[in-house]
Every structure is written in structure tokens, then in C-alpha cells.
Amino acid sequence: MPKVVLIVDDEEDVRESVRMILSANGFTVDTAVDGDDCLRKVNQIKPDLVLLDIMMPGKPVSEIIKEIPNTKIAFMSVVRISDARKRGLCSQPNIVDFFQKPFNVSDLVDRVEFILNG
Amino acid sequence: MDAKKFSLKSLIFSKINRKLSFLVISALLAPALGIYLFYYILSSSFPSGVFSEQAELLRTTAVFIIIFISIINAGVIGLFVTRSISKPIKELHKATLELEKGNYDTKLDIKTGDEFSELGKAFNLTSKALGRLEQERREIDNAKTEFLSITSHELRSPMTPMKAQLQMLQEGYFGKLNKKQKVSLEIITRNSDRLDNIIVDFLEISRIEAARLKFNFKETDISDIIDETTKFMEGFAKEKNINLVVNIDKIPKIEVDSDRLSQVLRNLIGNAIKFSEENSKIEIDAKLQNDFILFSVRDYGCGLNSENQIRVFEPFYQVENSSRRKHGGTGLGLAICRGIVEAQKGKIWVESKEGKGSKFFFTIPLEPVRNIEPIKVLFSSKKLIERKICEEFKSILGPLGYSEFNDLKSKNSLGKDDLLNYIDSLTDLHIIPLEKGMNFKNKIGGIFGEEKTVINNENDSMCDFEDEVLVRN
């Protein structure tokens, strides 16, 4: 059974690019355009991992992650964030990684593989 | 300016002159008229001839009394007039000094009813206008920083899908590539990386300018940071077979943001590698100096002339136009270093001789500065330094200073070495005493960043290069 990844980003080209990369590597991929869409899709498709952009219009990320405490989440951010703040952001146990945009394609694949397949 | 306002006619009929003339004339004429009238009544009340001798005496006495009273009167009035003029001038002077300090709320209230009142009103209007301009300047400055920050974010967002698609193409996600396609993609990738680096540097500069630079202080051993950074840079140094020599004095553990310190060091070492010849060496030193740690990165490359020594910390300033293409980089590295160092109240400067290499110094405080203030890194450091030098010239050499400064400027001799040589020539020719010359030199050294080295350890800085000259000779 292929693992399911949900990509949440308000930018279509980012969603599409990540979808292309991960589905080419054997993952089942779905996308959401904002926080509310994300919560709906999480309940619907029960993803193994949510790739969540931390800066999106609408519902703040801090509220989204509270509502899905049992789903693995990896953050994505175009804003550079200091290691100290990263540690703060990743303090909740279901936050498993932090991807700095622009990301490296093979690095992204490796890390997602590691999170989902060990 | 309206020339008519300064004509002789307007001067004579000015309110102040009218007031003064009235005072002086009445001061001199009133006693004269009074006493002469008294004498006239007295002498005419006696028949002529009977009293003529006494009358003659009386007239002479009257004239002397008139002169005496007039002199006293003139003195008193003079005093009064002087005070009435000097008081508003003093007030004006005080207010101008306030204005100079940037206190644009200064208001003058002169109620003399003459030109001084008008001057006071004009002063108030001017200070109000200056205040308004200052306000506007601040708003524009903030808008610029904000614009830079927003634009950089907006520019960075498209980089993510662009780079992802490029890498997918290169890694064969969409099929095998032929040689020409590969070369084409390499060029696109290289340039998108360059663009991304510039955007990242822009963001960094907008953070420095808006005092949004974050420092994450942690007690750290400085030598660990230097060793790690050097190890990281050794990869680049190997390509040109350059030896990195590290020399660290005993330094206590301090609270420091190791990422930021490493960023500055990486930048300086990276530059040193870029501008070094193959098979040479780069020396990285750190030592304790009063309340600071003094770092230095010394290369034996092409060096910088005095103009470049000043301008090298300006954004996008590169020594030669071809240098960017040859050496890569965004041209913002040293400006960012300056921002990071100055945000920590440290100093950064360079000493160099053309053809002999350069030594970059910077200091960081033993006690971290937590209250970060905005640093203007986009301003031309050259103009700022020139203004400071000019001020020192004026304060030490007096009115002559300005023309001497301009003379040196026109000869393009405002580098640190040129200025120190110039001061030496002044003391040698006994134009200024030795002590004053030393003070002058310290001030100039301070402008170029290293007051702490010059004052405490004179043999430390430039002699590095002098020794070498001697040895080579």
C-alpha cells in the first residue's frame, strides 16, 4: 500500500511541483489550498504525512496543528527561520521535520522516505 | 535672495535702526536742549552787560554739563541697546544649537517688534519645515526597508517551484537529456542560484536596516566556532592549494550567536580565498582586547588601494567591474558583515597594501548586545567616512582644516595610510605639536575602526605590512 502525503500550500506551482516529485517516487499525493481545506482532506483521506506551509492566508498554522494531533506533519517555509525558532515550532511530537524552501529535490525525497518508511 | 532687502536704504529705514537712532538722538539732544534752555532763560532774565561775565561762565559750565550728561547717557543707552540686541541673538544661538542636535520642536519667542521678531518667526518656520522633512525622511527610509523586505519575499516565493522543476529535469524525472539540454539547464540552474543568493542577501539587509536581525546568544567557546568554520572553508581553499593558519589566544567562553559569527568569518575567509594567489596562506587570528574579541583574517593576495579600503563595505561595491564576474558573489557580503558586526556594537575595518594583501579586522563584545538597533548598510560608507574625516580636520586644524581636507580629497589621498602620513608630515614640520598629532592620528584611526588597537597597541596593526617590507628589502 503506497503511503499517502497531503501537500498544503497556497501556491499552485509549489503544490504541483511537490506532487510531481513525490508521486514519481511512489507516493500517493493529494493537495490542499489552505488550512480549512487541509483539515477537511485530513479527515477524508487520512494521510500518513502532511507537508504544511507555515505561511498561508486563512486559519493560522498553530490552530491547524492542534486539530490534527495524531497526523505526522512536516513544515515548509520560504522564510528563513533560526534554529532556535525551528525547535520551538517543532516542539509538538507530531511535527517531524522542517523543509526550507527552495528545497533540494533529492533531499526532499530522502527525508520523506525516511519519515514514512524509516 | 532678494537683493533689495540688503540695500543701504532698507538698512537706514530698518526698524532696528529707527529705534536705535531715536534712542541715540534723544539721549544726546535731550540733556543738551534742556540745559541750553535753562541757560537761555537764566541769561535773558538779567539785563545785558550786568551779568555778562557770570553768563559766560555759566555757558561754559552748561556746555561741560551737557557733554558730561551726554556721555553718561550715551553709555547707559549703549548698554541698553547692546543688551537688547544681544539677548535675542543669544536666544537665536541657543535655538540654532538645539536645531543642530535634531531637536526640531525648538521655538523662538522674541517680542522686540523689530527685525529680530521677524527673524524669530522665520526661524520657527524653518525649524518646523526641517521637522516635517525629517519626518518625511524617516517615513521614506522605513518604506524603503519595508519595500526591500516585501519584494525579497515576493521574489523568493517563485524560486521554489522553479528550482524544483529544474532539478527534476536535471535528475531525469521527465526522460533522458542530451548534452545541449544538460548545458542549457546548468546555465539556468547556476543563474537561478545566483538570483536566489541575491534575494537572500537582500532579505538579510532589510533585516539589518529594520533592526529585525535575530541573534541567538549561547555561551560558546570561540575556538570551536573558528575551527568549525575553518574546516568548512578548507574545502574551498584546497582548490587553490591555500593553507588556512589559525591562531587563537586564550579567550574566555562568551555568549555569542555562533551562526552569525560563523557567517562573518565564512564571508571574510571566502573573500580571502577568492583574492589570494594559488599556493599561498590565509591567517585567521582571534585575541582578547579590552571588552572585545578582535578577529582578523589576513591574506597575501592583491590587496586594496585606499579608495577601495573605504568603499569595500558598500553594497554592490566591487573593486573592479570585472571582479564580480570573475569571482562570483552578490557584492553584498561585506555590507552584511558590517551590519552584523555593528548591530553588536562591534567594528569592522580593513588594512591593506596593494600587491601585499589585506587584513580584515572585526570585533565582537564580550557582553552580547541584546537591544538591536537599525544599521544603515545601504548608505555609502565613503561619504560617511569622508564627512567624519572632514570634521576631525576642522576641529584639529581650525579654519585651515577644510581647505587641507579638500586638497587631500582632490588628490584622492583620504585612505588611512595617506592621512597618517599627512599627520606625520605636520608634526615633522612642527605645524602642530607632537601630542596634538598623536591625538589626530587616534581620531583618524577611530574613524577607520580601530581606535582600540591604535591607542592600546600601536605596533599591532599596520606594522604587520611594514615588517614585511623590511624583510623583503
B166 band by pLDDT with thresholds 50, 70 and 90: very high
Q: Is A54 helix (H, G, I), strand (E, B) or coil?
A: coil
Omega before B315 within 30 of 0, i.e. cis:
no
Neighbours of B249 (CB within 10 A): 13
Average pLDDT value for residue range B141-166: 88
Whether residue B123 contacts residue B103, with contact meaning beta carbons closer than 8 Å, is answered with no
Q: What is the pLDDT of residue B170?
A: 95
pLDDT average, residue stretch A35-56: 93
- Cα separation, B154 vs B148, whole angstroms: 10
Is the CB of B199 inside 8 Å of chain A's CB atoms?
A: no
- pLDDT value at B450 more than 70: no
Percent of chain B past pLDDT 70, that is, above it, reads 88
Q: Which residues of B touch A106 (CB under 8 A)?
A: 167, 171
Cα(B418)–Cα(B408) distance, integer angstroms: 9
- Sequence-distant (6+) residues with CB within 8 A of B453 are B289, B294, B361, B445, B460, B461
Say how far apart CA B268 and CA B284 lie, in whole Å. Answer: 10
Contacts of B173 in chain A (CB under 8 A): 20-21, 24
Rounded to an integer, the average pLDDT of B103-112 is: 84
Q: Residue A70 has which C-alpha cell?
A: 495524531
Is 60 exceeded by the pLDDT of residue A2? yes
Does the pLDDT value for residue A6 go beyond 90? yes
Q: Which residues of A touch B159 (CB under 8 A)?
A: 101-102
Condensed to tens digits (0 to 9), the pLDDT of residues B382-441 reads 777 788 888 888 888 887 888 888 888 888 777 777 888 888 888 888 888 888 888 888
Specify the higher pLDDT residue, B11 or B121.
B121
Range in B73-77, B179-183, B267-271, B469-473 the model is least confident about: B469-473
Q: pTM of the predicted model, to two decimals?
A: 0.70
For A101, name the nearest residue in chain B, comparing CA atoms only. Answer: B160
Q: Which of A4-18, B19-33, B68-82 has the least mean pLDDT?
A: B19-33
Under 8 Å CB pairs connecting chains A and B tally to: 57
d(CA B88, CA B466): 57
Do the chains contact at A104 and B167, CB–CB below 8 Å? yes
Q: For chain B, what is the radius of gyration of the CA atoms?
A: 36
Please give the pLDDT value at position B44: 74
**What pLDDT is attached to residue A38?**
94
pLDDT at B465: 54
B163 lies within 8 A of chain A by CB: yes
- Residue B280: band (very low, low, confident or very high) from pLDDT cuts 50, 70, 90: very high
ipTM: 0.90
Mean pLDDT of B241-246: 94
Nearest to B89 by CA among B63, B120, B68: B120
Q: How confident is the model at residue B374 (pLDDT cuts 50, 70, 90)?
A: confident
The residue that leads in pLDDT, B433 or A86, is B433
What residues contact residue B436 under an 8 Å CB cut-off, 6+ apart?
A: B396, B427
Whether B251 has a pLDDT exceeding 60, the answer reads: yes
For B193, nearest residue in chain A (alpha carbons): A102
Which residues of chain B are within 8 Å of residue A112 when distances are taken between CB atoms? none
Whether residue A4 contacts residue A30, with contact meaning beta carbons closer than 8 Å, is answered with yes
pLDDT average, residue stretch A57-61: 86
pLDDT value at position B51? 58
Residue A71 confidence (pLDDT): 92
Segment among B20-29, B189-198, B343-352 with least mean pLDDT: B20-29
Question: What is the predicted pLDDT for the residue at B327?
Answer: 63
Residue B76 and residue B28 in contact, taking contact as beta carbons nearer than 8 Å: no
Q: Mean pLDDT highest for which of B149-153, B255-259, B307-311? A: B255-259
Please, what is the average pLDDT of chain B? 82
Q: Say what the pLDDT of residue B108 is.
A: 85
* B275: CB partners within 8 A, 6+ apart: B299, B301, B302, B327, B358
Which one is predicted more confidently, B9 or B294?
Answer: B294
Distance CA B217, CA B223 (A): 16
**Radius of gyration of chain A measured on its C-alpha atoms:** 13
pLDDT category, A49, cuts 50, 70, 90?
very high
pLDDT for B1:
45
Cell digits of residue B440: 589626530
Per-residue pLDDT, B468: 41
| B243/B329: higher pLDDT | B243
Rounded to whole angstroms, how far apart are CA atoms B119 and B92? 9
Look at residue B328 in the predicted model and tell me its pLDDT: 66
| Grid coordinates of A110 | 530522502
Average pLDDT for B81-98? 85
Q: pLDDT digit string (tens) for B193-222?
A: 989 988 888 888 888 888 888 888 989 999
**CA B140 to centroid of chain Cα atoms:** 20
Angstrom distance (rounded) from CA B405 to CA B415 = 12
- The answer to whether the Cβ–Cβ distance between B196 and A102 falls below 8 Å is yes
Q: How far is CA A26 from the centre of its chain?
A: 17
Contact between B444 and B419 (Cβ < 8 Å): yes
- Say how many CA atoms lie within 13 Å of B321 toward its Cβ: 0
Q: Which residues contact B43 (CB under 8 A, 6 or more apart)?
A: B51, B55, B58, B59
| Highest-pLDDT range among A18-22, B47-51, B199-203, B271-275 | A18-22
- For B174, other C-beta atoms within 10 Å of its C-beta total 11
Confidence check: pLDDT of B47 > 80: no
Tell me the backbone φ, ψ of residue B3, rounded to 5 degrees.
Answer: -65, -30
Q: Given pLDDT bands bounded at 50, 70 and 90, which one contains residue B269?
A: very high
- Beta carbons of A17 and B157 less than 8 Å apart: no
Q: Does A78 touch chain B (CB under 8 A)?
A: yes
Q: What is the pLDDT of residue B470?
A: 36
Q: Is B155 on the interface with A (CB under 8 A)?
A: no
- Give me the count of residues in chain B: 473
Q: Is the dihedral of CA B186, B188, B189, B190 positive or negative?
A: positive
Residues A92-110 have a mean pLDDT of 92
Residues forming beta bridges with residue B357, ordered by sequence position: B353
CB pair distance less than 8 Å for B156 and A78: yes
Instruction: Tell me the three state secondary structure of residue A69.
Output: coil
Test mutation, A10, A76, A80, chain B, max B CBs within 10 A: A80
Chain A residues touching B200 at Cβ < 8 A: 80
Task: Return all residues near A86 (Cβ < 8 A) that are at least 6 apart.
Answer: A98
Q: What pLDDT, on the 0 to 100 scale, is given for residue B376?
A: 81
Distance from CA of B188 to the nearest CA of A (A): 15
Q: Residue B365 CB: number of other CB atoms within 10 A?
A: 16
Per-residue pLDDT, averaged over B325-350, amounts to: 86
User: Rounded to whole angstroms, what are the CA distances from B39 to B45, B57, B157?
Assistant: 10, 11, 103
